[in-house]
Amino acid sequence: MDNNNAVEILLVEDNLDDAGLTIRALKKHNLANNLLHLQDGEEALNYLFSEKVTSIPKVILLDLKMPKVDGIEVLRKLKGDDRKRVIPVVVLTSSKEEKDIVESYKLGVNAYIVKPVDFDKFAKAISEIGFFWLLLNQPPK
Amino acid sequence: MLRFYFNRRIVAGLVAALSILFVLAYLSNENKLRLVANSDSVAHTLDVLFHAERVLSHAINLELGQRGYTITGNDTFLLTYAAARRRWPEELNRLRQLTVDNDLQQSRVNDLQHTLRKLTEFSDSAVQTRKVSRENAIKLNSSLEGKGLLDGVRRIVAAFQAEEHRLLAIRSGRNEIGISRYNRTFILLLVATTLILLLIFYAINVNLRARIRTENRLKIALHEIEDLYDNAPCGYHSLDENGVFVNANSTLCNWLGYKRGELLGKVRFRDIISEADQALFEESFPKFKATGAIYDMEFTLIGKDKRELPVVLSAIAIKDKDGRYLKSRSISIDNTDRKSAEMEIKNLNQELEAFTYSVSHDLRAPLRSIDGYARILQEDYSQKLDAEGERVINVIMNNARRMGKLIDDLLEFARLGRKDLQRVNVDMTGLVNSIKKELLEEQKGRSIEVDVKSLHNAPVDIDMIRQVWINLLANALKYTGKVPHAHIEISSTKSDHSVEYIVKDNGVGFDMAYVSKLFGVFQRLHRPQDFSGTGVGLAIVRRVVEKHDGQVWATGAVNQGASFHFTIPTNNG
């Protein structure tokens, strides 16, 4: 059942620099052991909806603005699927646009975090997300 | 008013003319009666004179018959005599009757009777004497007694007749005066009537001309109004209670491509609007009939040739005395330009949105990387960096963060510009106190006194106005940073139509020469090393206050503090 190698955090982020910062912030608190980084929405959907993957991540950190399939689309697909809609999704984005926030919550996002420019604040936010979703939150079995 | 005035004059004139005619008729009648009375009195006088003459002639015949018989003894004379003797009393009686109203003439008639009796007695005795003796009879006659009595009769008759002539003259004279007075009055009244009739004619003429002039003016005005209605640069129409056209001007007919006759009484308004507008009309028409007015409804008219024309429609209902809906007075204004302008604005807004969206995503990400990787450098390679290297990394990080803040502020500024106002009456004192508490958290260790007076409430968008208070209070806190004891006072004053809020501090103040730059975007009056900031805060304040139709201004002097004022209208609309 509980696989040690099972993916705990799925990071969907097209910007490698941003992804590097996120992973570094998580690593600092030893939260990035079972992290999978995918670089756009298409990859994410392919991964999540593939037959081979049986376990579900504890949290998906989802960027919104990505090439090909964007974050909103990924969110729509996930929350529209009976089996996948239970996966907690945290939108992690630069956008403070009201439109995006409203749309994300309508689609059933579990949290919406705006990435601060200030790295100290950014690192703090990321580690708090990690602590909350990996350690505090009780996911559905 | 003018017409009534003329009418009154004409009626008065007619009444006057008719009155005069009545007076004339009355006077004519009087005159006729007088003439009749006059001719009666003349006839009477002639009658009297005639009978007096007859009395005289009987007296003469009496004397003549007696004398003839006396001289000749012929009985023929006795016939004349007897006839005269028999008839004079009749005549005298007649005369007495005719002059019964005249005492003088009556006494003369009595005298006459007396004298005639004496004459008759004399004649009788003379005739009797002659039958016996001719000589004695002649002797009797020679005494001239008979002649004297006859002369007496003559005298009395002459006096009697003279009196009657005199009376006739008096009566005739009086009559003549009456006639000439009547003639004068008649002519005078006739002239007056003629004048009055002329005046009436003049008045009627003037009246008629005024009426014709007014009618002409009315015709012109009517034509102008019709022209205004028909050829106005907007559509006019009226709908009955079923929404059927009962009137429409040429402009609207031309827009739709219908002839007026094809519209009126036949076509409903819902027949000439787009499918999409049907629900709007169904909903708004009953509401309009109930409330009596509707403004700025947007409809798309569909012409006979299916051409679309967007219009803005407003209407006021015409109701009868009991408040029942009769018809509408509706105006439609061609909305094509506004529609296309709206589309343009929409497109521009979309572009702007795309732009800000892109800015918020794409500009922030690299900054985060710059800051983040500089930080990594600092953390992971600190032993390889000397003091200058550390300083350079800090410069990089500070600038990246500063730019991040700048972008955030700019986006906020842009966001406020697009946001619609949601006005509610806000408890300003409570709002400002909560902001004060929040901001003072970050200012621990400073000596600050923030005096929030009891503030007037105002209808504002609470999210926007919160930003105004945050910016103003943060500013005051920032610019009092270098005085030993900061004192900030927040107060308000209320006037008839607005509330003025004031934030006063004892900070570094500013030079009034640059006051115009204070509220501009990116405009700063202080160097970053003195006071940090992006120069957007007050621009946001201005934008929010102006969105509320208020005003914002500031006063201050260098090192003598500053006060910021803004007003919020309280009775908007």
| Confidence at residue B203, expressed as pLDDT on a 0 to 100 scale | 83
Q: Is B64 on the interface with A (CB under 8 A)?
A: no
Regarding whether B45 and B145 lie in a shared domain, the answer is yes
**Cα→Cα distances B40→B44, B168, B170, B483, B514, Å:** 6, 11, 14, 139, 126
Of the three residues B397, B417, B437, the one that is the final residue of a domain is B417
For residue B376, list chain A residues with Cβ-Cβ distance below 8 A: 24
Q: What is the CATH number of the domain that holds B433?
A: 3.30.565.10
Pair B287, B307: CB distance under 8 Å? no
- % pLDDT > 90, chain B: 39
Range of the domain at B413: 345-417
C-beta atoms of A118 and B404 within 8 A: yes
The C-alpha of B482 sits at a distance from chain A's nearest C-alpha, in angstroms, of: 27
Of the three residues B275, B308, B334, the one that is the final residue of a domain is B334
C-beta atoms of B365 and A17 within 8 A: yes
Which residue type, as a one-letter code, is found at position B192? A
C-beta atoms of A118 and B401 within 8 A: yes
Regarding whether B406 and B356 lie in a shared domain, the answer is yes
Q: Is A95 on the interface with B (CB under 8 A)?
A: yes
Query: How confident is residue B6, by pLDDT bands cut at 50, 70 and 90?
Result: low
Pair B54, B92: CB distance under 8 Å? no
Cβ atoms within 10 Å, residue B309: 20
Which residues lie closer than 8 Å to B173 by C-beta, 6 or more apart? none
Q: Is the pLDDT of residue A3 over 50?
A: no
Of the three residues B364, B388, B417, the one that is the final residue of a domain is B417
Longest dimension (CA), chain A: 40
Query: What fold does the segment set A9-136 form as a domain?
Result: Rossmann fold (3.40.50)
B211 located within any domain? no
For B224-246, what is each residue's pLDDT tens digit? Answer: 999 999 999 999 999 999 999 99
Which residues lie closer than 8 Å to B51 by C-beta, 6 or more apart? B91, B94, B95, B98
For B430-474, what is each residue's pLDDT tens digit? Answer: 999 999 998 998 888 889 999 999 999 999 999 899 999 999 999
Q: Residue B199 is encoded by which pair of tokens?
A: 């005046």
B217 located within any domain? no
Regarding whether B394 and B451 lie in a shared domain, the answer is no
C-beta atoms of A94 and B360 within 8 A: yes
Number of folded domains that form chain B: 4
Q: Which residue has the higher pLDDT, B41 or A75?
A: A75
Which residues lie closer than 8 Å to B152 by C-beta, 6 or more apart? B115, B119
B400 located within any domain? yes
Regarding whether B109 and B36 lie in a shared domain, the answer is yes
C-beta atoms of B408 and A96 within 8 A: yes
C-beta atoms of B364 and A117 within 8 A: yes
Mean local confidence (pLDDT), B170-191: 83
Q: Is the pLDDT of residue B1 over 50?
A: no
B100 located within any domain? yes
Q: Is B364 on the interface with A (CB under 8 A)?
A: yes
| Confidence at residue B38, expressed as pLDDT on a 0 to 100 scale | 80
Regarding whether B79 and B21 lie in a shared domain, the answer is yes
Q: Is B357 on the interface with A (CB under 8 A)?
A: yes
Which of A96, A98, A119 is opposite residue B371, by nearest beta carbon?
Answer: A119
| Confidence at residue B4, expressed as pLDDT on a 0 to 100 scale | 54
Regarding whether B251 and B104 lie in a shared domain, the answer is no
CA distance B86 to B437: 161
Q: Residue B134 is encoded by which pair of tokens?
A: 């001719």
Q: What is the CATH number of the domain that holds B288?
A: 3.30.450.20
B41 located within any domain? yes
C-beta atoms of B357 and A24 within 8 A: no
Which residues lie closer than 8 Å to B540 by C-beta, 6 or more apart? B409, B412, B413, B416, B467, B468, B471
- % pLDDT > 70, chain B: 99
Regarding whether B391 and B452 lie in a shared domain, the answer is no
Mean local confidence (pLDDT), B19-48: 85
Mean local confidence (pLDDT), B322-331: 92
For B486-502, what is each residue's pLDDT tens digit? Answer: 999 999 999 988 999 99
Regarding whether B370 and B244 lie in a shared domain, the answer is no
Q: Is the pLDDT of residue B5 over 70?
A: no
Regarding whether B488 and B541 lie in a shared domain, the answer is yes
For residue A95, list chain B residues with Cβ-Cβ distance below 8 A: 357, 360-361
Domain boundaries, chain A: 9-136
Regarding whether B85 and B35 lie in a shared domain, the answer is yes
Count of CB pairs separated by less than 8 Å, A with B: 63
Regarding whether B423 and B404 lie in a shared domain, the answer is no
Regarding whether B552 and B503 lie in a shared domain, the answer is yes
Q: Residue B111 is encoded by which pair of tokens?
A: 């005298």
